[in-house]
Structure 1
């Protein structure tokens, strides 16, 4: 047990980090391993791979993800801002490079191979973008002569432009929603609400009119008879078949027919084998992480930490909500992972990076130290 009297770097971290948040995140990671054991063997068998191929890779991705999460949670706000700036520039450049060098998969170019590893760089743009716009919004509240809000909007336009060209409207929607929430926190004028809402509506109409697969997904959602809704129908059926307590581990059937049962539809597999009760428990974990993070943000005296923790929590929670809503056929189908549960290396490590920053910025800090850090002063002890 670490004593409060210890003055080591680990003791300082242990007694200031939100341990309940850390425990909830660890519970999600454990659930991800269990659900991967349930959902991925049939997918591996269909591809002629070892039955535990995706389970092993899931754990292989989880190990560095835990390392990234813990390492980032030790960083200071200044180090987080600097690292986010570098991460954003590199990830945005790689995301743009996918347009020319990435392989086309289902009509989109989102992946690029670096040193033999497939990477989806847009996943790393998201948390870094949240940190940078939070920094700009915080500066706007302190210095009215700095065009921080305009710079934040310019960053949004740059990110959205690259994502739309891939095209990746799911990530575009996610980033835009989080940006609008943070912009609202800064006290934006109502005219900006109208402008951003109008631009979002216009963008949706243009996407519907010009991009066939977007139009097909929306039409299938509004009128299931207009196209193939096999995956969504099977996912919904799994909730009905599983009932409250599930069929039991290994007894599910949906994983044998769904091509993405280990990734986008792992929540449906969990519903069939473990029941709606377990799914509600998972949803409660996500809700706890988001609400507790928002509570920590509300109590923060530092504008940057308040904006950043709020943005990272909304990014995390909204992504989870979109995945679960797709599994329940509540919104049009969109390939988006369930944080720390779905299979995916880029998603896993980028989520760990974002949650690590959330933990770092929500750490308890004495008010005197916080004020000194924000003003650049160094506190020294007075002689007795």
Structure 2
């Protein structure tokens, strides 16, 4: 009897699962699964402290069990969407974007208002935040439209992409959700640039962007308040970020130990927006660097794979999706470190939240599907961004 181990999938196996296994980037998949595992582990560390804000919850691990469900759903969605072809990615993205826009349009009338913002629709035991699904879907749709415009066949792809972007951002501002608006805008502009836009248009877009930021600051009082708190450390309203900063400092190199965190009991939204500070306090700088390293690996490896794709749509869409994940992670970590004003934005794959976890599974699934090693997907010499010009 041979002691040699027979692999589960043979390279000669042409079945869909075996083909997926040998063509998907298992490094990127492993990094995403690793972050999800960290998220589940940190939910068990944060849940007992998080439920103290809600007397109606008796189970100290209420959020942990729910996190397990969302993480399982996120993994399943990621794996299912990673099986798609580029055409399938486009189709699912368009459907998801249309549904997200439709629900966002209804939020002012049927949405649940939390902290002055109507961003969620109540579906019984689950609250859905449609903007989370609009982010990856819009990036894929915009990349498709820009690629169609490059072909020079009369498709007004640029106009369509900007029109849908303006509609999406308009609905976000109405909620209001300024953090998501800035994240989507930054990623959208990056996709536009990577698609081959002339630099003169980037200057125009940059000017409009600055004007938009000034307008947001002037029109929304909560934005001005957050900037004021950021510029005035120790202000009365800085309790949240002050406690998060103390938690991170208290963790040191190796942390206080599992379940030994103290400052997390005083950090509002610790299991969502400030889960990074919980991990830093209990597991120290080591876990912090591990999380940041996994995000960096996903972005660097993902962008490298995307840059070598031969199809302009797949190349731009994949790069935009990896950038979306990286930017959102950077914003959340920067807020926890008090480097930028606070924004209600989750840490990808790690923060508690059904919409966030499922949407991140969709985002990573799209990216994995687009970067799979299909025949002709990676042609020799395809190592630079497309040189096509979208606009005259």
Q: Residue 321 of structure 2 corresponds to which residue in structure 1?
A: 312
How far is the alpha carbon of 1:226 from its aligned partner? 4.7
Q: Contact 2:139 / 2:321 at 8 angstroms: preserved in 1?
A: yes
Aligned length: 371
Residue of structure 2 in register with 1:5 after alignment: 12
Deviates more, 1:142-151 or 1:294-303: 142-151
Corresponding residue to 2:130 among 121, 127, 130: 121
* Residue 186 (structure 1) shift: 2.1
2:87 is equivalent to residue 78 of structure 1: yes
Q: CA offsets, 1:186-206, max 9 Å, x none?
A: 222233222222222222222
Task: After TM superposition, list the pairs within 5 Å mapping 1:35-114 onto structure 2.
Answer: 35-48=42-55, 49=57, 50-114=59-123
| Cα root mean square deviation, aligned | 1.6
The one of 286, 289, 307 equivalent to 1:280 is 289
Provide the C-alpha distance between the structure 2 equivalents of 1:368 and 1:288, rounded to a whole number of angstroms. Answer: 22
Q: How many angstroms apart in 1 are the aligned matches of 2:46 and 2:67?
A: 12
Q: Decide which of 14, 17, 24 is 2:24's aligned counterpart.
A: 17
Separation in 1, partners of 2:142, 2:131: 16
In 1, Cα distance between equivalents of 2:353 and 2:167: 26
Of 335, 352, 360, the match for 2:369 = 360
Question: Retained in 2: the 8 A contact 1:216–1:227?
Answer: no
Q: Within 5 A, what are the aligned runs for 1:120-159?
A: 120-143=129-152, 145-159=154-168
Gaps of 5+ in 1: 371-384
Give the TM-score normalised by the residue count of structure 2: 0.91
- Structure 1 segments, 4+ long, off by >6 Å, are none
Q: What is the TM-score normalised by the length of structure 1?
A: 0.93
1:43-64 Cα offsets, whole Å, 9 max, x none, are: 1234232101000000011112
116-125 or 127-136, which deviates more? 116-125
Query: 1:368 Cα shift?
Result: 8.2
Matching of residue 300 in structure 1 with residue 309 in structure 2: yes
* Matched residue, 2:40: 33
- Give, in whole Å, the separation in 2 of the partners of 1:281 and 1:81: 33
